[in-house]
């Protein structure tokens, strides 16, 4: 990864339909700014209708933003669309395939469309096919391929001209688990030379493939963090202790750093502690000394799902509150 910024999005906004004069107008994408460096894989997360696809379609020049600026590799996409688009490969939600063509014919068309010089076309097609595992199906009609293979043709189309920026909208939808692993591997491999933005609502996919995560909800960017940062968010300051015999909670509370002890059931307690002190060793020692017979002592983690739900629903309740306040005023 270098400091070379390939995608720069500044205050991007797009409204739904006609922009009304009153302020009730809803924005599909509301004032989003972010950057993607070379070699980085950025995961775009969000519930359905959050504005992921709209953002991606704006970055790739399929939609014009209502406000804001997008620069691809230093070129403004609104000022010089042709030059900027030469650096973009885009796989939309539904792969844009001409089903009546064979894979080879289709990729050749894409190679020409992206102005690859004639003498380099064969190589470009060959390497795109090899990278997406399409070498055996070159002569087959796209309409006869399975969904997974069609998806791969879609990805091959996006990377055929080795663009600086690859934008993939839900690339693993409809694939079987093996194919999903292959595609994830391919995405990691792409990040060696390209910047990749991918959107998904499959959370483990983000953990598996991305360097950075952005969660978007109702058109607003609600979280932007690296994967390490996200993992840190997932750690909470609580432990789960399971023993054969019943524990004495007052004794546990006496250990330094423990804030609260909650019974979950007969033989299991949740222990909350101060984040700066990890009392695990002390607890283990006490369990042995008191003869409680330790069965399980695990740090509790919030799943990515929980963070996601937390963030997206917290926003909503905050919104509702401000709305209510507005009505009251």
Partner 1 sequence: MVFTLAARELRSMFLSPMAWVILAVISALCAYFFLLYIDLYLQLQPRLAATPNAPGITDIIVMPLFSTAATILLLVTPLLTMRLISEERRSQTLSLLMSAPVSMTEIILGKFLGVFAFVSLMLALVAVMPLSLLAGGEIDIGLWASGLLGLVLLLASFCSLGLYVSTLTTQPTVAAVATFGLLLLLWVLNLAGSTGNEGGGVLSYLSLLSHYQPLLKGIFSSTDIIYYLLLISSCLVLSVRRLDADRLQH
Of 88-96, 180-188, 219-227, 257-265, which segment contacts partner 1 by CB under 8 A?
88-96
* Per-residue mark of binding to partner 1, 122-161 (x: CB under 8 A): -----------------------------------x----
- Rank residues 27 and 239 by Cβ distance to partner 1 and give the closer one: 27
Is residue 85 involved in binding partner 1 (CB under 8 A)?
A: yes
* Among candidate residues 198, 189, 171, 167, the one with its CA nearest the CA of residue 84: 167
Is residue 82 involved in binding partner 1 (CB under 8 A)?
A: yes
Is residue 26 involved in binding partner 1 (CB under 8 A)?
A: no
Q: How many CA atoms lie within 13 A of 100 on its CB side?
A: 0
| Structural contact between residues 222 and 319, judged by C-beta atoms closer than 8 angstroms | no
CA distances from 17 to 13, 21, 66, 211 (A): 13, 12, 11, 34
Measured at the alpha carbon of residue 146, what is the angle toward residues 140 and 149, in degrees to the nearest 5? Answer: 75
d(CA 121, CA 226): 37
Of 42-50, 83-91, 262-270, 309-317, which segment contacts partner 1 by CB under 8 A?
83-91
* End-to-end Cα separation, the chain, in angstroms: 50
* Per-residue mark of binding to partner 1, 29-58 (x: CB under 8 A): ----------------------------x-
* Among candidate residues 139, 127, 131, the one with its CA nearest the CA of residue 101: 139
Is residue 115 involved in binding partner 1 (CB under 8 A)?
A: yes
Which residues contribute to the site for partner 1 (CB under 8 A)?
A: 14-15, 17-19, 57, 60-64, 66, 81-83, 85-86, 88-90, 92-94, 96-101, 105, 109-110, 112-115, 157
């Amino acid at each position: 990864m270098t400091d070379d910024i390939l995608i720069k999005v500044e205050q991007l906004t797009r409204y739904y339909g006609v922009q009304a004069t009153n302020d009730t107008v809803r924005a599909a994408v509301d004032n989003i700014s972010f950057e993607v460096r070379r070699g980085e894989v950025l995961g775009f997360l969000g519930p359905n209708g959050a504005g992921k696809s709209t953002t991606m379609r704006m970055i790739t020049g399929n939609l014009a933003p209502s406000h804001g600026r997008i620069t691809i590799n230093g070129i403004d996409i609104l000022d010089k669309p042709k030059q900027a688009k030469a650096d973009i490969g885009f796989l939309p939600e539904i792969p844009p395939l001409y089903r009546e063509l064979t894979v080879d014919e289709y990729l050749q068309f894409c190679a020409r469309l992206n102005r690859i010089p004639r003498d380099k076309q064969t190589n470009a097609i060959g390497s795109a096919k090899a990278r997406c595992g399409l070498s055996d199906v070159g002569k087959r009609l796209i309409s006869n391929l399975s969904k997974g293979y069609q998806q791969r043709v879609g990805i091959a189309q996006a990377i055929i001209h080795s663009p600086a920026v690859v934008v993939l909208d839900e690339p693993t939808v409809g694939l079987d688990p093996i194919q999903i692993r292959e595609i994830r591997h391919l995405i990691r491999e792409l990040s060696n030379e390209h910047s990749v933005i991918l959107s998904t609502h499959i959370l483990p996919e983000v953990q598996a493939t991305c360097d950075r995560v952005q969660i978007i909800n109702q058109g607003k960017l609600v979280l932007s963090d690296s994967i390490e940062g996200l993992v840190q968010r997932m750690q909470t300051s609580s432990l789960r202790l399971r023993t054969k015999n019943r524990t004495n909670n007052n004794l546990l509370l006496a250990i330094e750093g423990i804030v609260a002890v909650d019974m979950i059931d007969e033989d299991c307690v949740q222990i909350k502690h101060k984040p700066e002190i990890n009392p695990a060793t002390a607890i283990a020692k006490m369990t042995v000394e008191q003869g409680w017979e330790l069965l399980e002592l695990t740090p509790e983690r919030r799943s990515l799902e929980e963070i996601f739900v937390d963030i997206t629903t917290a926003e909503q309740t905050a919104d509702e509150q401000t709305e209510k306040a507005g009505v009251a005023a």
